[in-house]
Structure 1
Amino acid sequence: MKDIKFLEDITTMPGGSGDETLVRNLLKEEIEKVTASEIDGFGNIIGRVGKGKKVIAVGHMDEIGYMVRDIAPNGMIKLSQAGFVFPQGAMCQVYTICTSKGQIEGVIGFSMDRRSNEFPSIDQLELDIGCKSKKEVEELGVEIGNAVIAKSRFVKLQNDELLSKAWDNRIGCAISVRVLQELSKMDLHCEFIGGGSVQEEVGCRGAKALAVNIKPSIAFSLDTSPASSQSGFECGKGPQLFVMDSSTIGNKKLLAFVKKIANEKNIPYQVGLLNRGGTDLSELQNAGGGCPSLAIGIAVRNIHSPVGIINYNDYENAVKLMVEVISSLDDETIEELSRF
């Protein structure tokens, strides 16, 4: 597990939608080991290697969480969600408020008079940082709009499985920059663009800017999906190739091309559909009037929670697959994939 420290660092740091600075700084360090980094006016970060038609494969830097909505007179902090969160997963968890004065920790607790079979709505959640008045909270630098992000340990489990928060979608960012680093050693016949986008969890807003600015000929979204009986995806069975999700249908020629490469190189993979959820591909696929696109992901148990679990081998195989796929692309192949 050569990348274990990198995965720990990138998942345990806070980075909610619109507040991805720490993650962006880490990706900047990794990108600049092999090429120049570029940050656009929206906050997306990319690096480029190779020359030719443009191929993009990015993950999103933001994680689901909350924002400070209000501060009650008794010092309790009211929250609004930023991304899709499960209220039942929020209870009795430690959170970090990201303020201009630094990070402050607190907990979302529960009321003993609440019936055990009921969960509060998002509007009913309160963050307790130990303060007894609104003034005390404000003096610490807490303001409306501050990001509130779950705090989690990084734990090595059995059978190469890893527990942490924010696999959705720091794992996609990690795959992207590792692919960039590997491809920098090769003689490519396309230009590969890797890195991280912003604000996916609140509407794929960063990806829209990337699509407009870069206009790729081929687009991949590197993301995650729930490991469940409904999706058919399992941890440890290889990266996922998404035939369809709620926002995209993968290009059939590109899907067949990726499967062919995986089979030739003996890289395990899973193919399936998602009935719910989408990725940055919903915006990237529209680049330049439309381009062949495909979402590739990693299965996560307990997704969108502080205790997500992935299998490290899925990460390694996703990197291998993307390196093999992108190094096989040239002008002629890209033109054929784009032809209907």
Structure 2
Amino acid sequence: MTVTIDRALIKSLVEAWGPSGYEHEIRALITDYVKDLADDIRVDAGGNLICRMGSGGKKVMIAAHMDEIGMLVHHIDRHGFARFSSIGGLFPTTLNGNRVRFQNGMIGTISMDNPLDLSPGRIPRNAEMFIDFSTGKDNGNDGGIKVGSVAALYRDYAERGDRLIAKSMDDRIGCVVAIEAMRRFKQVGSPHEVYFVFTTQEEVGTRGARMAAEGILPDYAIALDVGTAGDLPKGEEVNSRLGYGAGVVVRDVAHIIPPALKDLIIKRAEEAGIPYQPHVMDLGSTDASAIQYAGSGVPSAVINIPCRYVHTVSETVDINDVQACVDLLLAVLAKPFDGV
């Protein structure tokens, strides 16, 4: 398998700022990458970026969410410390000592009450966490941060061989898969009218995908997202490994993939010699779980990118799996959805 994935594109997207509900910066960035690829581009009332390619035939919606997890300030004290609420699924055990970036560029440091309390079994609560954004005793101590200010995790993109490491691989790497597929779409060809949708607010309840699907009313849908990898010490019960191909989801906690659609995706992978791995997601759900309810129902599937350390600043994927996901998506779109 030849790897043609644009690493500069990955770096650009994963380092961009865009918590759920505040996707305007990442949406503008993605628009710059896709504006010359699509036949039609629009932004709906939910902030979803909808890119149509082709016309006629069945309507297929490809969804990858732009948003990332974050924090919303709900209290500030006079010393420059902010208490916050979660935007999406934050794990307090992974936050202490990490940095965040606010929309205005201010960098904050996350800490917690009693950080040296190492009592056995102690798990900190979000209510114990705070963000230090102090700027010095003579600088006003506010940095422009107020109640209602929003922050996202902050960490530079890094590479370790084929392993790519960053905050917000969930789901900017799914956006990369969609963009790379758009770049090759006209070369490969498709009998379908395809809507590549970069969705909003997935991390807080797959809200954007539901709105977009009601507007498009697709005949079929495929969500692109990360899936928890199990190739860790004591992680053998999760059948998903980095470097072993695209994840073909069987079910997640909110959605059972229609067997005929799942089998079709596997058939296309085997026909094209694309490495894949079936994946049962026992944690989390994807945009497909929302899209399935549009209109009178939409057969919806999930292709995922195996990922270690989800919802941390060091989400890790393998570039070969990213390539496999692009190749598989194009193989599926290249032919009719027979028997589904």
Between the aligned partners of 1:285 and 1:2, the Cα distance in structure 2 is: 30
Find out whether 1:243 has 2:250 as its counterpart. Answer: yes
Question: Which residue of the partner structure matches residue 169 of structure 1?
Answer: 171
Aligned-residue offset at 1:132: 6.1
The alpha-carbon deviation at position 185 of structure 1 amounts to 3.0
- Structure 2 letter corresponding to 1:126: F
SS at match of 2:64: strand
Q: Counterpart in 1 of 2:144?
A: 141
CA distance in 2, matches of 1:163, 1:303: 11
* CA RMSD after TM alignment: 1.7
Task: State the alpha-carbon separation in 2 of the partners of residues 297 and 143 from structure 1.
Answer: 37
1:174 to partner: Cα distance: 1.2
Compute the TM-score of the two structures, normalised by the length of structure 1: 0.92
- The alignment-based identity, stated in percent, is 28
Q: What are the Cα deviations for residues 185-225 of structure 1, in whole angstroms up to 9, with x where unaligned?
A: 34421101113100000011101101110000001111111
2:322 alignment counterpart: 315
2:48 to 44, 49, 74: 44
Q: Would you say the 8 A contact 1:76–1:131 is kept in 2?
A: no
Q: CA deviation at 1:111?
A: 5.1
Q: Which of 40, 59, 63 is matched with 2:64 structurally?
A: 59
- Give the number of equivalent residue pairs: 327
1:108 and 1:122 mapped to 2: Cα distance? 11
Q: What amino acid is aligned across from residue 90 of structure 1 in structure 2?
A: L
Distance 1:221 1:277, change over 3 A: same
User: 1:73: Cα distance to partner?
Assistant: 2.6
Q: How does 1:126-137 map to 2 (within 5 A)?
A: 126-131=130-135, 136-137=140-141
- The residue number in structure 2 matching 1:288 is 295
How far the C-alpha of 1:144 sits from its partner, in A, is 2.2
Give me the whole-angstrom Cα distance separating, in 2, the residues matched to 1:97 and 1:125: 16
Asked if 1:154 corresponds to 2:157, the answer is yes
State the AA in 2 paired with 1:226.
T
CA distance in 1, matches of 2:71, 2:27: 19
Q: Which amino acid aligns with 2:97?
A: C
Query: Which residue identity lines up with residue 122 of structure 1 in the other structure?
Result: N
Aligned counterparts, 1:182-197, within 5 A: 182-197=184-199
- Shift of residue 47 of structure 1? 0.8
Q: Any unmatched runs of 5+ in structure 1?
A: none
Q: CA deviation at 1:141?
A: 2.5
Q: TM-score, normalised by structure 2?
A: 0.92
- CA distance in 2 between partners of 1:113 and 1:173 (Å): 36
Partner of 2:233: none
Q: Structure 1: how far apart are the matches of 2:214 and 2:25?
A: 25
* Alignment partner of 1:221 is 2:228: no
Are the aligned partners of 2:100 and 2:153 in contact in 1 as well (CA < 8 Å)?
yes
Q: 4+ residue runs of structure 1 moved beyond 4 angstroms?
A: 110-113
- Residue of structure 1 in register with 2:23 after alignment: 20
Q: Specify the code of the residue in structure 2 equivalent to 1:69.
A: H
In 1: Cα distance, 2:111 partner to 2:284 partner: 28
